[in-house]
Structure 1
Amino acid sequence: MKNSVFLGIFLIIYTVQANSQEKLKGGVIPVMSWGGVAQTEISVANYKKLKDVGVNIDIAFFSSTDAIAAALDAAGKAGVKLMISCPELKSDPEKIAKRFKDHPSLEGYYLADEPGKPQFQELADWAKRLKSADGKHYSFVNLYPNINSNQSKFGTKDYKEYVDTFDKMFPAPYISFDFYPVVDGAVHPRWYENMEFFANKYKTEGRPFWAFALTTSYLAYSNDAGQPTLNDFYQLYKSYNPEKTFVHDIPSLGELRLQVNVNLAYGAQGIEYWSFKGFGSPIDANGKRTIVYDKLQKLNTEIQNLSAVFLGAKMISVAHTGLDIPNETKRLSQLPAPIKLLETKGLGAVVSVLENGKNTFLVIVNRDFKNPMKLIIYTDDSVKKVLKDGTLIPANEYASATEVEPGDMSVYMFPTSK
Structure 2
Amino acid sequence: MHKTIIISLLSALFLQIPDAGAQSKKDRFLISMYGPPAAKYLNEEQFKVIKDGNIDIIINVGPGVEQDKAGNTKTLDMAQKFGLKVYIYDARVNQSDDQIKAMVNDFKSHPALAGYYVLDEPDTAKLASAIEMQKKVKALDPAKDAYINHLPDWAIDPKENYEHSFLPRYIEGVGKDKLNYLAYDNYPYKRGHRLEKTYFNNLEIIRRVGLKYNVKTSSCLQSFGMGFKGVVELRRPNADEMRMNVYSNLAYGVKNPVWYTYYTQDNLTPNFTMYKCVIDSAGVKTDMYEPFKKLNGEMKQLGKTLINLDAVEVYHTGDSLWLGTTRPPDQFMAKVSDPKAQTILSRFKDKSSGKQYLMVVNRNFNRSQPLTIRLDSSVKKVKEVSKQTGKTVKAPYDAKANTISQTFMPGEGKLFVIN
Q: TM-score, normalised by structure 2?
A: 0.80
Are 1:371 and 2:367 an aligned pair?
yes
Higher helix proportion (structure 1 or 2)? 1
**Of the candidates 410, 414, 417, which is equivalent to residue 418 of structure 2?**
414
- Amino acid across the alignment from 2:393: L
- Amino acid across the alignment from 1:201: V
Q: Deviations over 1:13-61 (max 9, x none)?
A: xxxxxxxxxxxxx975211111123333322332222111121111114
* Residues 400 and 128 of structure 1: CA distance in aligned 2, closer, same or farther (over 3 Å): closer
Write the mapping of 1:221-232 to structure 2, written as runs, cut at 5 A.
none
Task: Report what 2:94 is aligned to.
Answer: 90
SS in 1 for 2:55: coil
Q: Give the conservation status (yes or no) of the 8 Å contact 1:108–1:137.
A: yes
- Shift in Å, 1:310: 1.5
- Amino acid across the alignment from 1:392: V
**Of the candidates 149, 159, 162, which is equivalent to residue 159 of structure 1?**
162
SS in 2 for 1:118: coil
- Amino acid across the alignment from 2:193: G
- Amino acid across the alignment from 2:241: E
Distance in 2, matches of 1:249 and 1:130, equals 36
Between stretches 100-109 and 86-95, larger displacement belongs to 86-95
Are 1:79 and 2:83 an aligned pair?
yes
Distance in 2, matches of 1:364 and 1:394, equals 13
Gaps of 5+ in 1: 1-25, 220-226, 229-235
Distance in 2, matches of 1:33 and 1:378, equals 37
Task: Report what 1:304 is aligned to.
Answer: 300
Are 1:393 and 2:419 an aligned pair?
no
Q: Deviations over 1:282-312 (max 9, x none)?
A: 1000000111011111111111121133213
Distance in 1, matches of 2:116 and 2:383, equals 41
Q: Give the conservation status (yes or no) of the 8 Å contact 2:100–2:137.
A: yes
Task: Report what 2:4 is aligned to.
Answer: none
Distance in 1, matches of 2:27 and 2:332, equals 26
Distance in 1, matches of 2:331 and 2:242, equals 28
Task: Report what 1:129 is aligned to.
Answer: 136
SS in 2 for 1:364: strand
Distance in 2, matches of 1:394 and 1:381, equals 12
- Amino acid across the alignment from 2:34: W
Task: Report what 1:5 is aligned to.
Answer: none
**Of the candidates 266, 271, 284, which is equivalent to residue 252 of structure 2?**
266
SS in 1 for 2:253: coil
* Residues 385 and 134 of structure 1: CA distance in aligned 2, closer, same or farther (over 3 Å): closer
Task: Report what 1:111 is aligned to.
Answer: 118
Distance in 1, matches of 2:82 and 2:254, equals 26
* Residues 132 and 163 of structure 1: CA distance in aligned 2, closer, same or farther (over 3 Å): closer
Report % sequence identity. 22
Q: Deviations over 1:332-375 (max 9, x none)?
A: 124665x5x53246551110011124332100111110011221
Write the mapping of 1:231-242 to structure 2, written as runs, cut at 5 A.
236=230, 240=231
SS in 1 for 2:290: helix
Superposition CA RMSD, Å: 2.3
SS in 1 for 2:288: helix
Greater Cα radius of gyration, structure 1 or 2: 1
SS in 1 for 2:125: helix
- Amino acid across the alignment from 2:79: A
Aligned residue pairs total 362
Distance in 2, matches of 1:112 and 1:41, equals 25
Gaps of 5+ in 2: 1-25, 265-274
Q: Deviations over 1:162-200 (max 9, x none)?
A: 222222223522111101112231222111111111111
Write the mapping of 1:1-400 to structure 2, written as runs, cut at 5 A.
28-61=28-61, 62-91=66-95, 92-147=99-154, 150-152=155-157, 156-160=159-163, 161-171=165-175, 172-183=179-190, 184-219=192-227, 236=230, 240=231, 246=233, 248-278=234-264, 279-334=275-330, 341-344=335-338, 346-356=340-350, 357-358=352-353, 359-379=355-375, 380-389=379-388, 390=390, 391-396=392-397, 400=404
Q: TM-score, normalised by structure 1?
A: 0.80
- Shift in Å, 1:320: 1.0
Q: Give the conservation status (yes or no) of the 8 Å contact 2:357–2:416.
A: yes
- Shift in Å, 1:104: 1.3
